[in-house]
Structure 1
Amino acid sequence: MSDERDYSFTLFAPHRVRQPKNDQPAVEVRPNGRIVFNKNATQLLENNSFCMLGYDPEKRALGILPVEELKPNTFPVRYAAKGAYIGAKKFFKHFNILPSQLVENTPFKSGEFIGINL
């Protein structure tokens, strides 16, 4: 007794399979004005304690220039166990580019700058 109808069975799979962690360099720009580097992206900062920020309006890109010492218009880089962050709300408000939701992108090098497309 064979039945010729096609069946579409769904397998019982109650346990979630963990997705492998993203170990690629990534930078988030958050609506609160924080620029957050994951552990691998933090290496691009080369342990500098400060940075200067720039914006390319044509390409809608953020440029981060790591610097060693505090100067006028620098932003402190805060290092943590899982990466680093820069509080830059004033910068984003100045250029009117504060994102309404989280933006995550792969950073790129452009000369001495670390670039992120917004």
Structure 2
Amino acid sequence: MSEENGFSFTLFQPHRTRTPKNDEPVIEVRPNGRIVFNKKATQLLENNHFCMLGYDPEKQALGILPMEQLQPNTFPVRYAAKGAYIGAKKFFKHFEILPGQLVEDTPFKSGEFIGINL
């Protein structure tokens, strides 16, 4: 329509386009040992209030296995308005994989596990 009048408008489109964070699941691993799920990633937990944690040293990935009930070595999942989190400092220290800075990634499913690359 604009070309009929002799105009060819270029739309303003900023160089960096960011999708809103809530559009896709994101899990953060923080230097304080906290694993934080955004609202979309929280759905992967399926309202379970506990989880087991695993580590794959070859692929440098964290595995989160949601559990319905408290069992030995489970970690509690804390739900909040904007998502959920797991306090897992002992886990990261045990494997000596506590990140020095924030790690943020899109989770993946591997069997019953929710995985994230570290």
Q: TM-score range by the shorter chain?
A: 0.7 to 0.9
Query: C-alpha distance in 2, partners of 1:76/1:61?
Result: 20
Match of 2:71 in 1: 71
Q: Paired residue for 2:95?
A: 95
Moved over 6 A (4+): none
Measure how far apart 1:83 and its partner are: 0.2
Give per-residue Cα distances to partners, 1:15-39, cap 9 Å, x unaligned.
Answer: xxxx552221000000000000000
Query: Which of these two proteins has the greater Rg computed from alpha carbons?
Result: 1
User: Among the aligned pairs, what percent are the same residue?
Assistant: 84
Whole-Å Cα distance in 1 between the matches of residues 19 and 106 of structure 2? 17
Question: Aligned with 2:37: secondary structure?
Answer: strand
Provide, for residues 1-60 of structure 1, a one-character-per-residue CA deviation record: whole Å limited to 9, x for no partner.
Answer: xxxxxxxxxxxxxxxxxx552221000000000000000000000000000000000000
| 1:21 paired residue number | 20
- Structure 2 stretches lacking a partner, 5+ long: 1-17
Cα displacement string for residues 72-109 of structure 1 (whole angstroms, at most 9, x for unaligned residues): 00000000000000000000000000000000000000
TM-score of the superposed pair, with normalisation by structure 2? 0.83
Counterpart CA distance in 1 for 2:107 and 2:72 is: 25
Map of 1:4-43 to 2, 5 A cutoff? 20-22=19-21, 23-43=23-43
What is the letter of the counterpart of residue 21 of structure 1?
P
Q: After superposition, where does 1:54-65 map in structure 2 within 5 Å?
A: 54-65=54-65
RMSD: 1.2
Per the normalisation by structure 1, the TM-score is: 0.83
Q: Secondary structure at the match of 2:98?
A: coil
Separation in 1, partners of 2:19, 2:108: 23
- 5+ residue gaps in structure 1? 1-18
Which is richer in helix?
2
Size of the aligned set, in residue pairs, is: 101
